[in-house]
Each structure stands twice: as C-alpha cells, then as structure tokens.
Amino acid sequence: MSQLGQAIRDSLTDIDGNSYAIIKILGMLIVIVFLGLVIASFVTGKAFDSVAYGTGAGLAIAAMAAGIRLTEPQPPKDPKQ
C-alpha cells in the first residue's frame, strides 16, 4: 500500500488499524463537503453561510459521538468492590 493510502487508512481506523471509525469518516466527509460548497459558492457567486454549516456539522458530530459512546459496551464491573 502506498504511503498516502496508509496515512488515510490510519486516520480513518480505530486503534487496532482494522475497523473503521464512523465518527472519523463522518468528520472527513464533512470537511470534503465544506470545501466543495465553498468552491461552488465562489464559482457561482452565490452566498454560502459557513457559520451555519459549521454549527450544524459540529452538532451532528457531537450527537453521533454521544450516540456511539452510549452504545459502546461498558467494561464489566469489578465484583471485588
């Protein structure tokens, strides 16, 4: 695998390097869409509200992160305590 491919894979996977992290993929897609919208608004001359987009994207990431955290399996409680 090329160095670029390995860098992208490392930035999108969990610590084990095999399973993809949905929150990282969502974050990368949000950045790509943001850049596309900024370029499109520049080319067409139409207004683009980047603050509203950033607020909505941030809230979407926060909600998804909270959902992932709430659905993760919790470590077993120590019976000695």
**Domain edges within the chain:** 22-68
Top pLDDT among 43 and 65 is at: 43
Predicted pLDDT of residue 79: 62
User: Can you give the pLDDT at residue 26?
Assistant: 82
- What's the whole-number average pLDDT of the chain? 82
Q: Closest Cα to residue 25, out of 36, 37, 11, 4?
A: 11
pLDDT tens by residue, 4-17 = 888 888 878 877 77
Residue with tokens 């979407």: 60
pTM (whole model) above 0.85:
no
Give the residue, 21 or 78, on which the prediction is more confident. Answer: 21
What sign results for the dihedral spanned by CA atoms 65, 7, 33, 37?
positive
DSSP assignment of 19-76: SBPHHHHHHHHHHHHHHHHHHHHHHH-----HHHHHHHHHHHHHHHHHHHHHHSPPPP
Q: What does the pLDDT read at residue 6? A: 85
Q: Which pLDDT score is estimated for 28? A: 83
Amino acid in position 19? S
